[in-house]
A and B are shown apart, each in its own frame.
Chain A
Amino acid sequence: MVKLKSNDDKEFEVEEAAVIQSEMIKNMIEDGCATSVIPLPNIDSKTLIKVIEYLNKHINMGKAAETGEEDDLKEFDEQFVNMGWEELFDVIMAANYLNIHELMELCCQSAADRLKNKSVRAVREMLKITNDLTEEEEQEIINDAPWAFEGPEIDDTVN
């Protein structure tokens, strides 16, 4: 077992087999730096619980492929990323910090899928971004390269 401590001072015990999916912690263990509690100053307990849930589920990736539980895992992943934007960003940052490649891939792809084919207005609203481009600037960007903006229909809904 490996002990992790979130930045709000909560401790979590995780199986070594699960936690070494994090390249960062794997390296620490290999270098013998993980004898006591590993402090994670960038991750709060809420996010860490999500990350540990993912690690535990993905602990036996290879085994799942053999026993045909891949679908189960895929379904878990779909459910897993079903969270709000802020939560998703927290997990992305945690995954990046802990260097968990698969989790990073999953969450960034989910974020990209949410932005795909959305109108500019919808994106701003979803992420509460203030537009600091003037109308002229916007038009200039489009006029400069009108071909880049041609494509499938745009979705104006916010969800």
Chain B
Amino acid sequence: MDSILCDELVQEIFRRLPPPSSAAVSLVCKKWLYLLRSSTTSLSLCFIQPPFLPSFTSFLRFHPFLSTVSVTVTSTVDSSDQLLLSVASSCPKLRHLRFLNCPVSSLSLLSLSASCPNLVSLAVTLFRPLCFLWLTPFKSLKELSIYSAGNSGELDSGGLDFVGPCELNLESLLLTGIQSSDKGVGFLWRNCKKVRTLKLKSCEGVGDQASFLAFLECLEGLQEVELRTCRGIADGVLLKLAESSVMLNSLLLYDGGSKEGLLHFLGQSKCGVSLQNLDLRLPLDLDNNHLTAAAENLGSLRSLRLQSCCLVTGEGLKILGNAMANGLEELALINCDVVERESGLLTTLGQDLKRLRKLDLSFNDMLLDKELISMLVSCNNLNELKVRGCKKLTNLAMVSLAKCCEKLQSVDVMYCCGMDAQGVEFFVLNSPNLRLLHVEGNKVSDVARTWASHKSIEVVA
């Protein structure tokens, strides 16, 4: 191969090899070793035991064109800073780095900024006290993910934080485990004027009092917000978003937000015109009042996802469905017992929501065939359906699916124990546009498997 093809074409072939075959070709001969190393741009390394540092460094140095590196160490290590420094000094062309599980110091992050000036996205774990001054020299950084670890035992350098303003170019920010005592976060809020996407996970707070005002200001320009298990701050964030955010496009709320807080947001927020995606998971107090408020105020909604809502009834959902008849393209009612409780609800929703493209009814384990089928009859434009874990559904549902929804491209029937290989086979053979099917391997007959491979249908178990 090397005598006929030029280096560039050999590398073209190497690029299509999955690991570890790509590593194996490096042992074929010296030229291939060189060609492979100089064409590798992305590496994902996961260590159970920390690697031997010199060999880790030399391994990285053999790959001078790395632009994406992911390093995860699953055991506790003392040498995390050295590992990061090794990456920093060995990969000058780095643009994306994930360095997870082992906390690193500000000092080594500063070295990283000096060695890898083109870094666009970075995910790291930090010790407390949190400090973000090291971000200043990262001029190209657009995406930052921070995971906070335990205390390093160092003294809080709080005062150091009050340096002059410096503009950060971050557009997307993910923070995990922030507490109200974390003074350092204020630096982020004060200097991230360009952030459009904010994701907070398991945050009890957003920093101390001084940080809070800056945080509120930061919320105004956001387009996408995710709050996961942030009970302590969810209401405050919702209130501010409702008041001042006119650009908000997407909101995900998982386990947080009081009854009143949510009602105020859904009914009064100024982002009614811009909000297109709403995803509420485990909103314990969500009831029909909320849905009515959303129906009146959120006219631009394209995607509504509700998960584990136990207080809403069919009445509320019908009002919502009716109000959003011409807009809604995606609906998810996951583990919502109203779906099983109220016969005929799905039929009405199906008839109203003419533009529905994606439907997710997963984990409604008492959902019956006739309920689903009477909805699908009206949903001819559906191209994605998930009924994962709907245990009562049978082959009958599969047959109607193939008949009513010709445009389906992606279907998930994992853990539907009422269906068997026969139903799956019928569905696969009679769905002209199917591209992706999630189903248990033992429910795929030989006929279905052959057909799927012939039609480029991906079957995922």
Contacts and interface: CB of A to CB of B under 8 A. Distances in A.
B277 to A, nearest CB: 31
A130 B29 contact: yes
A108 interface: yes
A48 to B, nearest CB: 17
A115 interface: yes
B162 interface: no
Task: Determine which residue in B4, B24, B30, B455 has the highest number of CB atoms from chain A within 10 A of its CB, and name it.
Answer: B24
A108 B16 contact: yes
Nearest to A104: B12
Contact of B20 (A74, A85, A144, A150): A150
Interface residues of A, number: 41
A131 B18 contact: no
B25 interface: yes
Contacts of A46: none
A123 B20 contact: no
Interface string A129-141: 1111100001001
A5 interface: no
A118 B12 CA distance: 18
A151 B27 contact: no
Interface stretch (A12-20, A30-38, A49-57, A89-97): A89-97
Nearest to B8: A96
Given A92-B9, A93-B4, A115 B17 contact: yes
B55 A143 contact: yes
A112 interface: yes
Contacts of A71: 454-455
A132 B16 contact: no
A104 B9 CA distance: 10
B180 interface: no
A112 B17 contact: yes
A96 B11 CA distance: 13
B59 interface: yes
A77 to B, nearest CB: 11
Contacts of B30: 132-133
A137 B51 CA distance: 20
Interface of A: 71, 74, 85-86, 89-90, 92-93, 96, 104, 108-109, 111-112, 115-120, 123-124, 127, 129-133, 138, 141-145, 147-152, 154
Interface of B: 1-2, 4-6, 9, 12-14, 16-21, 23-30, 32-33, 45-47, 51, 55, 58-59, 62, 454-456
29 contacts: A74-B456, A89-B4, A90-B4, A93-B5, A93-B9, A104-B12, A108-B9, A111-B13, A115-B13, A115-B21, A115-B25, A116-B21, A117-B21, A118-B21, A124-B29, A129-B1, A129-B2, A131-B28, A132-B30, A133-B29, A133-B33, A138-B27, A141-B27, A144-B62, A145-B55, A147-B51, A149-B23, A151-B19, A154-B24
